[in-house]
Amino acid sequence: MPHRRHEQGHPQLISWPNIAIVQVVKQRVNGELNVMRRIVQGDQKMVQSLIRKTQQEGVINTAFIERLNATFRQRLNSLARRTRTLVRKAATLEAGMFVVGCLYNFCDTHHSLRLKLLVGRHGYRWVQRRTPALAASLTDHIWTPTELFNFKVPLPRWEPPVHRGRPSRKTQ
């Protein structure tokens, strides 16, 4: 994150607090795959805590973020490689990412989120397609894109601004 001390020159880069950045480097040497995992930013204790929260046990894994990046590249043309589409403003890209994220979480069912139904000694059957929002109990049904785009988000409660200094003569 850039941080300027003076007006001239390149801004000094400072790291964000409480953020963990990890890297997985894969190399194939003489037919053998070597996997090196390293912490780029953050400490070992923070990374281990995040691994326990997200996957209970295991090692540094970048598969989830890679899948998310692939989803955004697939669904947002301006992020695809070798495209003619340009994003001229950051707000346009941000709005597109919000739309893709909402459709992904509320409208798209995911194969890995299905539930098992036990069927006696014959084993089980997969039932109930689910979206990530449905699996996280944020909603009770699979949304349609029309329903999502017509949803009215309530405004936050209005609070009057804080006035500083002496009160004006009109209010006295």
Query: Which pLDDT does position 2 carry in this prediction?
Result: 56
pLDDT tier at 164, thresholds 50, 70, 90: confident
Secondary structure class of 124 (helix, strand, coil) = strand
Distance CA 1, CA 12 (A): 8
Q: Are 75 and 85 in contact (CB under 8 A)?
A: no
CA atoms of 77 and 90, how far apart (whole Å):
15
DSSP 8-state secondary structure symbol assigned to residue 105: I
Identity at 163, one-letter amino acid code: H
Per-residue pLDDT reduced to its tens digit, 71-99: 888 888 888 777 777 788 888 889 989 99
The chain-wide mean pLDDT, for the chain, equals 84
**Is pLDDT above 70 for 113?**
yes
CA dihedral (48, 49, 53, 54) positive or negative: negative
Residue 143, Cβ neighbours under 10 Å: how many? 19
Give the model confidence (pLDDT) of 29-84 as tens digits. Answer: 888 999 888 988 888 888 888 888 877 777 887 777 888 888 888 888 888 777 77
Name, in order, each residue with C-beta under 8 angstroms of 118's C-beta and a sequence gap of 6 or more. 124
Roughly what angle, to the nearest 10 degrees, separates helices 63-75 and 90-102? 110
Q: Give me 4's structure tokens.
A: 């300027």
Phi then psi dihedrals of residue 74, to 5 deg:
-70, -40
